[in-house]
Structure 1
Amino acid sequence: MGLWNIRRWTKPRTKSRYPTPLTAHQLWMVSLGAPVSRDRTASRTTLYPFTRIDDDSARGWLAEQWEITSRGRLAGRLDELSRSGYRARAQHLLGVSPLAWDAALYVDIARCGFGCGMITEAEAWTALKNIVPSVVRTYASWQEYADHYLLGRKVWQDGLRGTSDSSAPAPQAAADAHLRALLDPANRSSPWNLAPWDTISHPDRAR
């Protein structure tokens, strides 16, 4: 095992810093970002984005993938994703507006913003709550959400063709397999099974 991996796995576990389990509503909101979080280091049941405390990775990811290096840039990117995002291009090309793709990215970015200290925990929850109404109005199940996520991903990936980043996206097969695992009713670790779609429509509760 390389030195970098040893250092990563000796970092404190996220639950040692944030031991209180998310409520049902909180887990549902975090789960909107589950399609993006394919890496085994990703946490899908905490607001903090990783299974181990790694603020530098959260900061580096925002800078490298999104050119987000300040609160102002973070707020601007979240606002753009909530208002139009990639779905504006999809609407123009396909006549369909896949909100799920933008919502998943929105949640992922907000969590990383919290993870590196760019925003507070309270601000991160406020950001996640802001995206909930439009998502609930648009979809009736995690299956519908997953279908639109994949559609949005395809439009995004097609837009990268011919650029220097064309080799960056993970293979479509990897995204498909990840979503199948999230939707698999036998997958007890799937946050979508831990927080079914209608969870957000019922009173919040401790888990």
Structure 2
Amino acid sequence: MQMAPVLGHPPVAWDFGRYATVVRLAFGAGYVDGPGAWQLLGHAVAPVAQTYRSWNAFAHDFIAGRDLWMRSAGAEWSGSQQDTVQAAQRLLDPTNANSPWRQVPWEAIYQPDQPQHS
């Protein structure tokens, strides 16, 4: 399914979410090491930063992309769209101090990563 015509723009959030999952799985399987995984993820940040201005906008678009995908994926995939919506709501909840989306402000996406010194 071509998502861009339905959404009115490319499904950047959905594509990034799938890309991040593939990188995470590749790291877990030993196909890429930690620095390589971070490098791969870093290459995908620019389109996300250029497209969205907040975690809320990113989440909204991710949910829309997943909804379109689920329509064509069929019942073979586990997890409901409502589960995804609820997960996004927990990530966006201003009272959820454990949410990584609350711990790292969206504006951090525009800052270059700083090397960690031990």
So what's the TM-score if we normalise by structure 1?
A: 0.52
1:158 aligns with 2:71: yes
Letter in 1 for 2:6: L
User: Larger relative contact order (C-alpha < 8 A, sep ≥ 6)?
Assistant: 1
In the TM superposition, residue 118 of structure 1 has moved relative to its aligned partner by 0.8
Letter in 1 for 2:106: W
C-alpha separation between the residues in 2 aligned to 1:91 and 1:107? Answer: 20
RMSD: 1.7
Q: Which has the higher helix share?
A: 2
Equivalent residue for 2:97? 188
Corresponding residue pairs, total: 115
In the TM superposition, residue 158 of structure 1 has moved relative to its aligned partner by 0.7
Equivalent residue for 1:127? 40
So what's the TM-score if we normalise by structure 2?
A: 0.87
Q: Which of 104, 111, 123 matches 2:17?
A: 104
| Contact kept? 1:157, 1:169, Cα under 8 Å | no
From the CA coordinates, give the structure whose radius of gyration is larger. 1
In the TM superposition, residue 108 of structure 1 has moved relative to its aligned partner by 1.5
1:143 aligns with 2:56: yes
Q: Which of 173, 177, 180 matches 2:82?
A: 173
Structure 2 residues not aligned, in runs of 5+: none
Structure 1 residues not aligned, in runs of 5+: 1-85
In the TM superposition, residue 172 of structure 1 has moved relative to its aligned partner by 1.5
Identify if the C-alpha distance between structure 1 residues 131 and 204 changes in structure 2 by more than 3 Å, giving closer, same or farther. closer
